[in-house]
Structure 1
Amino acid sequence: MVTVEGFSWTEDVARVGLLYSSPVLTSTTTTLVICLAICVKQDSKAATFNTFTSTCNCFNSLLTATPVTGNRLWKRKLTQVEGYVYNSQLDWFIKVVTDQWIKHTDAETFCNADGGRLVVLDTDEKFAYVTGLPDIQISEYYHLGADDIAVEDTFVWTTGVVMNRNRPPWAEYQPDNYLGNQNCLALFNHLFDDIFCSDHMNFICEYVLLY
């Protein structure tokens, strides 16, 4: 771990020797510390420093990776993101938005705007944590990051993970695809429910980390 200007950076040793596309800044520096300091000023989430070419890249997201000899990936350890609640056990940032009341696609755009996405509740631990938050009202609907637009009755999280259709916490008789076009997922009464994607409601964002 390296600490630079108050931020902790850890090396991802599993992804040594990879170059990622779409850096927000590329420069040549003499040391790793200078590289990380530059990326701190860019408020970047990750950096690569090439030990052979001294090339420094700052990233807000890691996209396509290609092999490059000498590259080392460093990731900034976040414990605070404005507007988000942090769960240290899950290493997870959550924001419950109750003052917008918008449709599913607009909620996703809202979350994307600050580096997040609609929340993915793909584990029992995440589900239990979110439903236990004081901002989650049992009588309110909340957009979640899954839909069955591609294949009816097969809900898929935005991460590409297919939901388990045969396990709780689905509400009774759900999903029912009411009127034939309830293709988005919501949380209601601390249970999953399929809803119209055009329905206006609260929503929950998660901040997307790079690791």
Structure 2
Amino acid sequence: MFGSSCYFFSTQRRSWDDGRRDCEKRGADLVIIDSRQEQAFLTGFSPAAWVGMTDREREGTWVWVDGTPVNRQSLLWAPGQPDDSLGGEDCGDLRTMTQFLGLNDVNCIVRLQWICEKSLTEL
């Protein structure tokens, strides 16, 4: 728990869409990171985990699963990210690696763990 949200950290690895479906089955959604404090809280549970951001609709325009824009300046991105490396990196994950810490863009079909979030106001 952090702030007014509860989180679920998966132990399985699935695609971004499969991770999101799992969150929805739990009455939640992929996490929306609202601040560097929340990002710091979430960092370290997994080397790489899906979060609820995508630029599928328009390349380079990152939005959260609720449709709000990602404030790229207020969050920590891994060095050089997002970079759409090799094209098709349209989903976001949170990385916790020694030389690669922060948000990252990756192909949505990669199998990663994921983080669900449910607001306590929704309980």
Structure-2-length-normalised TM-score:
0.87
Listed as ranges, the gaps of 5+ residues in structure 2 are: none
* 2:100 counterpart of 1:178: no
Q: Letter of the aligned partner of 2:10 in structure 1?
A: V
Match of 2:53 in 1: 146
Match of 1:96 in 2: 9
Which aligned segments of 4 or more residues in structure 1 are displaced greater than 6 angstroms?
Answer: none
Structure-1-length-normalised TM-score:
0.52
Match of 1:129 among 7, 17, 41: 41
Identity of aligned residues (%): 29
Listed as ranges, the gaps of 5+ residues in structure 1 are: 1-85
Match of 1:203 in 2: 114
Offset of 1:168 from its aligned partner?
4.2
Which is greater in Rg?
A: 1
Number of residues of Structure 1 aligned to a counterpart in Structure 2: 118
Q: Considering only aligned residues, what root-mean-square deviation do their CA atoms show, in Å? A: 1.7
Whole-Å Cα distance in 2 between the matches of residues 167 and 123 of structure 1? 7
Mapping of 1:40-189 within 5 angstroms?
86-87=1-2, 90-98=3-11, 100-131=12-43, 136-137=45-46, 140-189=47-96
Q: How far does the alpha carbon of each residue in 1:160-203 deviate from its partner, in whole angstroms, 9 at most, with x for none? A: 22112345411111111011110000011240000000000111
Structure with bigger strand share is 1
Offset of 1:130 from its aligned partner?
1.3
Match of 2:105 in 1: 194
